Structure 1
Amino acid sequence: MSRHATAPELAQAKAEGLHNIGEAAQLSGVSAKMIRHYESIRLIPEAGRSVAGYRLYSDADLHRLRFIKRSRSLGFSIKQIETLLGLWDNRSRESAEVKRLALDHASELAEKIREMQTMQRTLEDLARRCHGDDRPDCPILQDLAAECCEGGGAGRA
């Protein structure tokens, strides 16, 4: 259901400060494809429409899109963003819950960083053991071809 009782002409909508999807994408930094996706999963409200059927977005919609973009840039999942948007919309919220969500996410990121650093060390170790010359023997390929990875696989030659 559209947010506008009667669909305005596009020129009238623009005069009222509304934006078509291309303008919304440019002003928010979120692609038109992602705007449509966020609308389809209800992260943003269903867009109003012009008489010709063009989606129309308000400044509040743009602000919400920027919030989503910033949240994504910090690595929050869609589910986490739904929660954050709910908290943002709830002016009687307690900031303690927002802080808990942020700290939980920071902890998840720290674990991912540890895992990636372990992968990096393993690859660097394998690369150090590889001669990198015209011989076919390659500890990197041997490790990748190993059937079991318990212990990281870096110990095999």
Structure 2
Amino acid sequence: MNISIGELAKRSGVKVPTIRYYEQIGLLSSAPRSEGNQRRYGKTEVDRLNFIRHSRELGFEIEDIRELLAMSAEPQASCHQVDSIARNHLVEVERRIESLMALRAELERMISECGHGRICDCQIVEALADHGRCMGDHKH
């Protein structure tokens, strides 16, 4: 396989500027260049980019992905560290879900208290202007 960056983007679902960024930060190796100075990619890069894209879709941070990629290069090693990264990510996802649920409850409360009158009497605007009027901690 000897594909262009455009074809790599198409096959992986990752935009060209993002591919260049991943090369810049070292998540993806710099591609060899053709005689016409075009980047050329193979199956290894397609597979690696699919791994990165899927990891990002699941919300993993770049540094976690970097570690996961390094560990995947040692298939016989213990997966303890991979498990640890995934567990830490799960804790963070659960924290965000809890925060979003609190945010939803606060927005539902604000909307339910709306009198559907004029802006000058709007409880939603009042609550947005004064955090003290909120019922719970909903920082996102």
TM-score with structure 1 length normalisation? 0.81
Q: What is the aligned counterpart of 2:16 among 23, 32, 52?
A: 32
Distance in structure 2 (CA, Å) of the matches to 1:26 and 1:82: 23
Match of residue 76 from structure 2: 92
Structure with greater Cα Rg: 1
- 1:114 and 2:98 correspond: yes
- Deviation of the 1:83 alpha carbon: 1.0
Q: What is the aligned counterpart of 1:81 among 65, 72, 83?
A: 65
- Deviation of the 1:135 alpha carbon: 6.0
Q: How many residue pairs get matched?
A: 136
- 1:44 and 2:25 correspond: no
Distance in structure 1 (CA, Å) of the matches to 2:95 and 2:5: 38
Match of residue 153 from structure 1: 134
Partners of 2:119 and 2:125 within 8 A in 1: no
Distance in structure 1 (CA, Å) of the matches to 2:24 and 2:125: 44
Amino acid at match of 2:135: A
Q: What is the aligned counterpart of 1:124 among 108, 119, 124?
A: 108
Gaps of 5+ in 1: 1-16
- 1:142 and 2:126 correspond: yes
Q: What is the aligned counterpart of 2:56 among 64, 72, 84?
A: 72
Distance in structure 2 (CA, Å) of the matches to 1:100 and 1:135: 50
- Which stretches of structure 1, 4 residues or longer, exceed 3 Å deviation after superposition? none
Q: What fraction of aligned residue pairs are identical, expressed as a percent?
A: 33
Q: CA RMSD in A?
A: 1.6
SS at match of 2:115: coil
- Deviation of the 1:103 alpha carbon: 1.3
Amino acid at match of 2:64: Q
Match of residue 117 from structure 2: 133
SS at match of 2:120: coil
TM-score with structure 2 length normalisation? 0.90
Distance in structure 2 (CA, Å) of the matches to 1:106 and 1:43: 23
Once the two structures are overlaid, the 10-residue window that deviates more, 118-127 or 98-107, is 98-107
Distance in structure 2 (CA, Å) of the matches to 1:30 and 1:90: 26
